[in-house]
Homo-oligomer: A and B are copies of this chain.
Amino acid sequence: MIEDKNPQRTPLSELGEFKLIEHLTSHFKITQKSTIKGIGDDAAVLNFEKQQIVVSTDLLVEGVHFDLSYAPLKHLGYKAVVVNLSDIYAMNATATQVTVSIAVSNRFPLEALEELYAGITTAAKIYNVDVVGGDTTSSTSGLIISVTAIGEVKKGNEVLRSGAKPNDLIVVTGDVGGAFMGLQVLEREKEVFKVNPNNQPDLSMYTYIIERQLKPEARKDIVELLKTLNVKPTSMIDVSDGISSEIIHLCKQSNVGADVYETKIPLDPQVISTCEEFNVDSTTIALNGGEDYELLMTISQDDFPKIKGNPNLTVIGYITEEDRGMHLVTRAEEKIPIIAKGWNALKNQA
């Protein structure tokens, strides 16, 4: 590959704030019927007719949530939007708009911000949401991205964390633990790179889990699938901190307990092999590794025939009475209490 050793670097100071915002946002197209006025006024104007709206917001901070030494800016822009949309889908809603604010130090040239916005634009296009506002400002150090996502849901169709009932089935979409193991691989390669910058790592064994970390997808398809199957979950949450943590959220807010079966937790073969390579327990990673952006839900047993055999949906346990507590039932049929480690805590240990 012939590398461009002299990429263009336009200092942000050359443009000034207003021109910068105009340059970065002028190509955003409006596609949603509910967007009356997008970027370019004091506020966006939206009209949802009789629909309810849902709103969620997240802040991503360089050095805390991402490391630019291995996260390409385009992927980062994409991920910043996707992780917010994931919260909208976790309400059983349709995402319609986002606002994106960025604080950036002047070590970033214009071309870097263009990359970031290219990722934002791609995510907006793929997930069919309008970018309707934001703020671009300077920071004294590093990059900060704040996204607010807005969605719509018909009154009564929203799914909260608080509706789980004893005997409901606990269902998770896709597979879990991949994003966390992808991060482990990337961090290991970063250490190798520090020692030998000319080393070209072979990451072909880890493509799936690295993509889970750098360019996750939100489960828009699941909201559509549930509608098609005519299933309304009794509770739902997105898996951002690991399923242990999410199960605890659902149980606490629904005043119920849970039994989760270790053998049922869906793992990709790359997660299993990478866990073996790193000598870590795959169940621990699946329970506590974060950033999978799958959906964890509970459904009534009556709905089981509707989801049975669907490759996107895996039943991993069931809801119990609150006084039964929250447990993992291991391969050896032992019951271990589920505790909230969360992926941040895990990360600090790793």
Chain A 12-64 residues near chain B, CB threshold 8 A: 16-18, 36-37, 40-50, 52-59, 61-64
Residue in B45, B155, B161, B238 whose CB lies within 8 Å of A54: B45
The 4 closest A-B pairs by CB, nearest first: A43-B56, A146-B146, A42-B90, A63-B140
A150 on the B face (CB < 8 A): yes
The answer for the CA separation of A344 and B16 in the assembled complex, in Å, is 10
Known: A17-B344, A61-B144. 13 other contacts (CB 8 A): A17-B342, A40-B253, A41-B162, A42-B56, A42-B88, A42-B237, A43-B90, A46-B53, A55-B150, A57-B133, A57-B146, A64-B139, A101-B146
Q: Are B54 and A139 in contact (CB under 8 A)?
A: no
With A41-B160, A43-B90, A87-B43 already in contact, the answer to whether A144 and B144 are too (CB < 8 A) is yes
Q: Are A148 and B59 in contact (CB under 8 A)?
A: no
B-binding segment of A91-99, A169-177, A277-285: A91-99
Q: Are B61 and A140 in contact (CB under 8 A)?
A: yes
With A46-B55, A101-B57, A160-B41 already in contact, the answer to whether A141 and B141 are too (CB < 8 A) is yes
- Chain B residues near A185 (CB-CB < 8 A): none
A138 on the B face (CB < 8 A): yes
With A18-B340, A61-B103 already in contact, the answer to whether A44 and B37 are too (CB < 8 A) is no
- Chain B residues near A64 (CB-CB < 8 A): 103, 137-140
A135 on the B face (CB < 8 A): yes
The answer for the CA separation of A62 and B142 in the assembled complex, in Å, is 12
With A87-B42, A91-B41 already in contact, the answer to whether A59 and B146 are too (CB < 8 A) is yes
- Chain B residues near A62 (CB-CB < 8 A): 140
A65 on the B face (CB < 8 A): yes
Interface string of A69-94 (1 = CB under 8 A from B): 00000000000000000111011010
